[in-house]
Amino acid sequence: MKTGDLLIKQGDTIKDFIYLKEGLVKLYRKSEQGQTQIISFGKPYDFVSLLSVFSDEKYNYSVSALEDSVACLFDLNEIKALIKSNGEFALHLIQTQNRASDRIIMNSLDLLQKRLYGRVANVLLYFSDEVYKSDEFELPISRKEMAQFIGMSIENVIRAISAFRKDKIIQVYGKDLSILDKKRLKQMNDFS
Amino acid sequence: MKTGDLLIKQGDTIKDFIYLKEGLVKLYRKSEQGQTQIISFGKPYDFVSLLSVFSDEKYNYSVSALEDSVACLFDLNEIKALIKSNGEFALHLIQTQNRASDRIIMNSLDLLQKRLYGRVANVLLYFSDEVYKSDEFELPISRKEMAQFIGMSIENVIRAISAFRKDKIIQVYGKDLSILDKKRLKQMNDFS
DNA sequence: AACTACTTATGATAATTATCAGAGAGTGAT
DNA sequence: ATCACTCTCTGATAATTATCATAAGTAGTT
C-alpha cells in the first residue's frame, strides 16, 4: 500500500479485521459539521480496525496511508469464530483493544486541556517517542493534518512550529524535523 | 451508594468488574498537569469499569456518584474465566466495550472541534437525550464539573448558561433545568 | 445568628485563537 | 514553460477565551 492509499473508507461495510505490519496510517472521519478530523495514527502492530469493528456494521471512520505500509487482513467472521472457540485469544484481544482505545481516549482528553503550543508539542513528541523513537525524523503529516488532529487552525499550527523553530527547540528542513531541545519541548507539552 | 460516594479511586488495584444498575456516576482523573478532568458519565447499564479494566493493573481514573446509585460488582477473575470458557459471552463483551469506548472517543473528538457554546449545548443535550430522556431535569453536575468535562473555564461555562437563559433557550431554577428551545440548542451544538 | 466554605454570577482586562488577506515555494498536469 | 493547485508562511484584525477581582447566594457548622 502506497502513501496516500485508502485502506478503509468511512461508510464501508466491515468485513475484515485489520492490523498494520509496516508503515504509518491515519484514522480520520468527517464530523457532523462536515470537517475532516484525524482521530489517531496507526503504527506497526497496531490494530487499525479497532474502533467500531465489533460494535458496528459500517466503519465510521476512514484510514489512509501516511507512508508506504503493509496491512494484514483477516476475515472478521473467522476472528469472531476464533473468539468464540479460543478463550485465551479472546481475553488477549480484549486487553489489546482496551489498551488501544484507552490511549486514544486519554490522548484526546489531554489535547482538550492543552493550548496551541502544548498540543503541537504533544504531537511532535508522539512522533518522536512513540513512532520513530528518534529525535530526527521526517514529519509524516502536513500542517493541515496536524491542525485536523489537534483541533486548531492551520495558520496557528504553522505559527507554533515557526515559534519553536525560532526558539531553537526544533529544526525544520522541508519535511525533515529534528528536536534540538527536548526538555523544553516537554515543558511546552506539560504546561498548557 | 449515596451521592458523592467514591466507587473507584485512581490508583486502586483493579479487582472487580463493575456495572451500574441505577443512578449516575462520573468518571474522572487527575491529568498530568494536576487538574481534575471528567472523562465521561456512567448511566444505568453502562460498564463503569470500562477503561483500563482489562488493560491495566490499576485504575487510571476515579468514579464517584452524582446521584444515589446502585452498582454491581463481579470478581474480575471470574469474568476472565467466563471470557475464556464462554465464547458467546466474550464476543458480546467485546462488542459492548467497543461501543462504549467508541462513544467516549467520538464525544471527546466532538468537543475538541467545538467552541464554548457548542460544548455547553452538547452537555445539556447529552443529559436531556441520553440520560433523562426529558426536556426538564435536575442538572446533576455543577458548573465547575461541566467546565472540567468540556475543558473550559468555570466562568465561561457560567456565562454560556447565562446567555442561553437570556436567549430563552433554557430556564434555570437552582438545579432544575428545562430546555425551552431545543431546536436552537441543537443549532448551537451543530455550528461550533 | 455568625462563621466558613463553596457555588453562582458579572465585569474588566489580558491572553489566546480564528479569520481574512496576500505572497512565495513546491508539485503535477498539459 | 505555463497554468492550476496545494502547502507553507506572515501580518493585521476580529472573535473567543482565560484570568483576576468582586459580590451575592447557598449550605453546613458551631
User: Three-state SS across B59-114?
Assistant: CCCEEEECCCCEEEEEEHHHHHHHHHHCHHHHHHHHHHHHHHHHHHHHHHHHHHHC
Find the Å distance, CA of residue B24 to C1' of nucleotide D29: 29
Give the per-residue pLDDT at B146.
98
The whole-number average pLDDT for the span B168-176 is 94
Q: Is the pLDDT of residue B78 over 80?
A: yes
Is B6-111 a CATH 2.40.10.480 domain?
A: no
Instruction: Give the contacts of A115 (CB within 8 A, at least 6 positions apart).
Output: A192
Give strand letter and number of the nucleotide nearest A153 (CA to C1').
C18
- Sheet of B136-138, strands arranged across: B136-138, B176-179, B170-173
Tell me what the pLDDT averaged over chain B comes to: 94
Tell me what the pLDDT averaged over chain A comes to: 93
Band of the pLDDT at B162, cuts 50, 70, 90?
very high
Using an 8 Å CB-CB cutoff, list chain A residues near B53: 98
The whole-number average pLDDT for the span A118-143 is 97
Nearest-Cα distance to chain B for A71, in Å, is 22
The answer to whether the C-beta of B21 is closer than 7 A to strand D is no
Band of the pLDDT at B169, cuts 50, 70, 90?
very high
Give the mutation candidate from A40, A61, A94 for the B interface (greatest B CB count, under 10 A). A94
Question: Cell match 473468539: residue?
Answer: A83
Provide CATH 2.60.120.10 ranges for chain B. 6-111
Band of the pLDDT at A55, cuts 50, 70, 90?
confident
Q: Is the pLDDT of residue A191 over 80?
A: no
The whole-number average pLDDT for the span A34-55 is 88
Q: Do the chains contact at A95 and B55, CB–CB below 8 Å?
A: yes
Are the C-beta atoms of A65 and A42 separated by less than 8 Å? Answer: no
Give the per-residue pLDDT at B48.
85
- ipTM of model: 0.93
Provide CATH 1.10.10.10 ranges for chain B. 115-190
Band of the pLDDT at B81, cuts 50, 70, 90?
very high
Band of the pLDDT at A192, cuts 50, 70, 90?
confident
The whole-number average pLDDT for the span B73-91 is 94
Residue A34, helix vs strand vs coil: coil
Q: Do the chains contact at A52 and B98, CB–CB below 8 Å?
A: yes
Band of the pLDDT at B72, cuts 50, 70, 90?
very high
Is B115-190 a CATH 2.60.40.1930 domain?
A: no
Please give the residue of chain A at the shortest CA–CA distance from B153. Answer: A113
